[in-house]
A and B are shown apart, each in its own frame.
Chain A
C-alpha cells in the first residue's frame, strides 16, 4: 500500500432544507497536513465524517487512496467505507473511548478483532503507542480515571493502533482546558513528523500556523480560501475570512 492521498471532488450534502456542503473540492497530498478552519456550521465536521464514510453525501465523489466513496449508502459504498477506515483513523472531539475497557483495552480491541493480531502482538503494539503518547503508566486505567488530555491522547493512540496512514482529527482539543491542549497538539505534531497524512479540523490558529502545510477555510459549505498558512492567515483574500480570523484571534 502506497502513501495516502485524498481527493474530494464537488461533494454536496443537504440536511433537509439546509445545505451543509455545497460542492466542496479539495485534495490532500500524501504526507501533507491540512488544517480546515472556518466558522461554526460551515461544514468542517461533516466534510471530515464524509471522508471516513460516517456521513453519506448527495453528490460528488471522494477518493481516499485507491478507494472511491460515492453518493448514497449502497453496499458498494459500505465496502469502500470499510476499506477507507483501514487506511485513515479518526479522532473525535468528545474522545469516544470505550468506557468499559481500560486504556490498554481500548487500544487492543480493534487490532485483535479486526486485524486478527494475537493477544501478545496487540498488547505490545498498544504498550508502544501508549509510551509514545506518554501514558505507559496509565495502561490499566479506565477512561473515567483519565484527564481530558490523557483521554484524547489514548484516543489518538487507539486510532494509531490500527496502523493507518492518515488521521482525521475533528476539533480534538475543543473539549479540553487550555493547559491540556498542548500535550495533545504535541502528539499530533510528532505524527506529522512521522509522515502521516493529517486532515485537522481546528480552531487552534497557532497550531495551524505551526503545523499545517496548507490551510483551507470552509464557510457555508464552500471552500472560500486555501493556501499556505502565512498567506491565508496573514493576507486573507476574502472579507469573510478576514472577519472570521479577527473574531478567532481577538
Chain B
C-alpha cells in the first residue's frame, strides 16, 4: 500500500529519489495509536507519530517509503524473511532482538506507565500493586510484560493495546502497565482511568533492519540525527503529546556527536538509568557491546529493562508452558463440546417435532449461530455483554470470565452444528420404528430414548467427532479474549525465542497427540454402538 508521502517532499537538487526503488516500511496499524493507526475520520488513511516520522524520513533520505501492514509480533520474523526493508513500530531494543536485528539509533525513549481505574485507592505504585496481588494487564512480548515477569506480578497478556484498558475499565484487571505513548493515547483521555505514580523503567525505540543492511541503517541514523537537530522530531512528538524531557536529552546527544561515525556504537549503549521506583530492578546487567559507548550527559536515559529480564530459553520450560496451554485447550474443547451436545439435542427436537413457533425459533437459532463467525460471538460475549449489562443497571450480572465466555461462545456456536447433526441422524431412522414401538405401547419419549436415539447415535457419532476435532482447533481463537491456550502459548514462546520451527513442531505434535486418538475412539464407539446395525 502506498502512503503517498512523497507528494509534499522537499528534496535537495542533488537527490534523485525517483531513481531508487521505494523502501518498504512494516508496521502494525491495528489499534496502534499513537504510533500508527487508522484515522478515525477516514480509515483509509494512516496517522500517528511514526507516520509523520516516516514522511520526514522520506524527505531526508530522498527515497519513497511505502507502508506495509504487518502484525507487530511478527515484525522480526518478517524482517528476516525479507518481506520489507525496515520495521518502525515502537520496536523496543532488546538483547534477544539484537541477535536478529540491526537497530538504528534511538528515535524515542519510552517509559512504562502504570494505569488504574480513577477510583482506585488500594495502590499508588507497582510495588504496592505487587503487595496487593493485583492483576496487571499488558501487551504480549513487550518490555512491560518482562518487567511484570521479573517482579513476579500477576499479569494478563493481550495481543492488542486496546483491550487491556477495556478490561481495566470493566474491572477484570486492576491495572495496566504499558509504554507511556500508549497510555497517553488510550488511558489519558478516559476519565474513568488515571495514571498511577511516575513513569518507570525506560527503554529505546529504534528502527529495525536486516543484519546485512549496514549502509541503509547508517543513512537512517544520519537522517534521524538531522531531524532531531532541526527540531522536527520535537515538533512531531509535541503534536502527539508524547514529548518529555527524556527526549530532549536524546536530541542533545544527537547534536553533540558525529552521528555518521558514532551512532552504531552508541545505539545499544545507554547509561544505566536511575529507576524512579525503589524496589524495581536496577541495571545490574552490563550491556554486551559497551566498548564504543559514549557516555551520556543526562541521568534519565534509558535502561533496557528487557535486557535485564531476558528469558533464559530451555526446552523444559517451553514444553511445560505448552502443556499448560494444551490443558486449557482440552478444557475449552471438552466443556464447549459438552455444552454444544447438550444444547444441540433439544434444539434438534424442537426443529423436528415442535409446534411451528418453537420450530421457527429453533431454526432461527441454528441459522443465526451457524451464520455468524465464532470470533464475533466471542468478542460480543466478552466485551459486549458487560456494556449491555451496565447500561441496563444490571451491574456485573452479565460479566463473564474469559474462560466462561469462551466455553459459552463455542457451546452456543457448535450447538447449532450439533443440532443439525442430531436432526439428520434422528431423521434417518425410518418412521416404521416409531410405529412399531408405538404399537407396543411405548410412549414417544420412551421410543426416542430407547429405540431412535441409540440407532441415530451411530449415524451422529462420526460427524460429531469431526466437529469436536474442528472445535479443538477453533479454540485457538480465544486468544482474542486473552485466554492463553496452546496456539497462543506457541505464538508467545515462538516470538520470544524466535524458534518458530522447533516450537511449532512441538505444538503440532501436541495437537496430534490429542486429536488422533479421538478418531480411534470414535471408530471404536461406532463399532460398539453399531452392533446389529449395518
Contact = CB atoms under 8 A, between A and B. Distances in A.
Interface of A: 52-54, 82, 85-86, 89-90, 92, 94, 96-102, 109-110, 113-115, 142-144, 158-159, 162
Nearest to A89: B439
Contact of A162 (B432, B440, B533): B440
Given A100-B531, A100-B532, A143-B532, A162 B441 contact: yes
A113 B451 CA distance: 12
Interface of B: 430, 432-433, 435-443, 446, 450-451, 454-455, 458, 529, 531-534
Contacts of A82: 441, 443
User: Which 5 pairs, one residue from A and one from B, show the smallest C-beta to C-beta distance?
Assistant: A142-B532, A96-B436, A110-B440, A90-B439, A96-B432
B441 A114 contact: yes
A92 B436 contact: yes
Contacts of A142: 531-532
B533 A100 contact: yes
A112 to B, nearest CB: 9
9 contacts: A94-B432, A96-B430, A99-B455, A100-B455, A109-B442, A110-B437, A113-B442, A114-B441, A162-B441
Contacts of A89: 439-440
B450 A113 contact: yes
Most buried by A among B436, B439, B455, B529: B439
Given A102-B532, A143-B532, A144-B532, A114 B446 contact: yes
Contacts of A109: 440, 442, 450-451
Contacts of B532: 99-102, 142-144
Most buried by B among A52, A85, A98, A144: A98
Contacts of A54: 435, 438-439
A69 to B, nearest CB: 14
A101 B451 CA distance: 9
Given A96-B433, A100-B455, A101-B532, A85 B450 contact: no
A160 B443 CA distance: 18
Nearest to B530: A100
A85 B439 contact: yes
B451 A98 contact: yes
A82 B458 CA distance: 30
Nearest to B454: A100
Contacts of A113: 442, 446, 450
Nearest to A168: B439
A130 B494 CA distance: 68
Contact of B435 (A96, A101, A158): A96
A101 B439 CA distance: 17
A99 B452 CA distance: 10
A146 to B, nearest CB: 11
Contacts of B443: 82
Contacts of B439: 52, 54, 85, 89-90, 159
A159 to B, nearest CB: 7
B441 A99 contact: no
A114 B432 contact: no
A181 to B, nearest CB: 21
Most buried by A among B430, B450, B458: B450
Contact of A85 (B441, B446, B458): B441
Most buried by A among B437, B451, B532: B532
